[in-house]
Amino acid sequence: MKSKSSPKLRPTFFDAIVVVLVAALALGSAWWFYGGLGRSGPATYIITHQGQEIARGELRQPREITVEGQYHLQIVCDGESIAVTHSDCPTQDCVRTGRATHPGQSIVCLPEQVVIKLVGSGSGPDLVIG
């Protein structure tokens, strides 16, 4: 004959809280593991000059950055995109690349070794060619 469970062994409200917390922790860990944390949030630009990071910020915050080296580059973040608006480098590839707006995109000035890279966002490409 089945015996009635003791009131002491019945799940309590505290037990339910623990179960919810553990489940939330597990889901959060899975989300982090599969890259959610590293790729979410607003797009961020990272600017390197000759291998050294010289600026980093959110794309939504307007800012102007000047790079001084053998050549002079003017970089403008207008809150929606980032672009090299002026450069006195000989090839001008960086200026012609135009605006970068989405994670995965980059702008490169080879003569001055400046790289502007956009990272972040959830569903963007892993890399861009062309």
Partner 1 sequence: MKTKYIPLLLALLLLLTGCGARQPEATRQIFAMDTVMDLYAVGEDAEALLTEAAQEINRLESLLSRTRAGSDVSILNETGTAQLSDETAALLDAALHYADITGGVFDVTIAPLVEAWNIHGENPRVLTGGEIAALLPLVGSHHLRLSGAAATLDQGCAIDLGGIAKGYASDVIARLYRDGGMTGGWISLGGNVYAHGTKPDGSFWNVAVRDPMDAAATAAMVQLSNQFAVTSGGYQRYFTAGDGTVYQHILDPKTGIPAMSDLLSVTIVCGNGTMADAYSTALYVMGEAGAVSFWSANRAEFDMILITADHRLLYTPGLAGRVTTEEGGAYEVQVLS
CA distance 99 to 77: 9
Q: Where are the alpha helices (DSSP H) in 44-102?
A: 93-96
> Is residue 66 part of the contact set for partner 1 (CB under 8 A)?
no
Task: Write the single-letter amino acid at 57.
Answer: G
Q: Is 67 exposed, middle or buried (0-12, 13-18, 19+ CB in 10 A)?
A: buried
Identified binder of partner 1 from the candidate list 44, 74, 81, 121, rule CB under 8 A = 81
Residue 48 or residue 74: which is nearer to partner 1 going by CB?
A: 48
The single residue among 1, 11, 52, 70 that binds partner 1, judged by CB under 8 A, is 11
CA pair distance 5, 38, nearest whole angstrom: 47
Per CB under 8 A, contacts with partner 1 among 95-124 are 96-102, 104-106, 108, 110, 113, 115, 124
Q: Could you give the CA distance from residue 77 to residue 38 in angstroms, rounded to a whole number?
A: 22
User: Under DSSP, is residue 33 helix (H, G, I), strand (E, B) or coil?
Assistant: helix
If one asks whether residue 7 binds partner 1 (CB under 8 A), the answer comes out as no
Cβ proximity to partner 1: between 23 and 66 the closer is 23
Residues near partner 1 (CB under 8 A): 9, 11-12, 14-15, 18-19, 22-23, 25-27, 29-30, 33-35, 48, 51, 81, 90-91, 93, 96-102, 104-106, 108, 110, 113, 115, 124-130
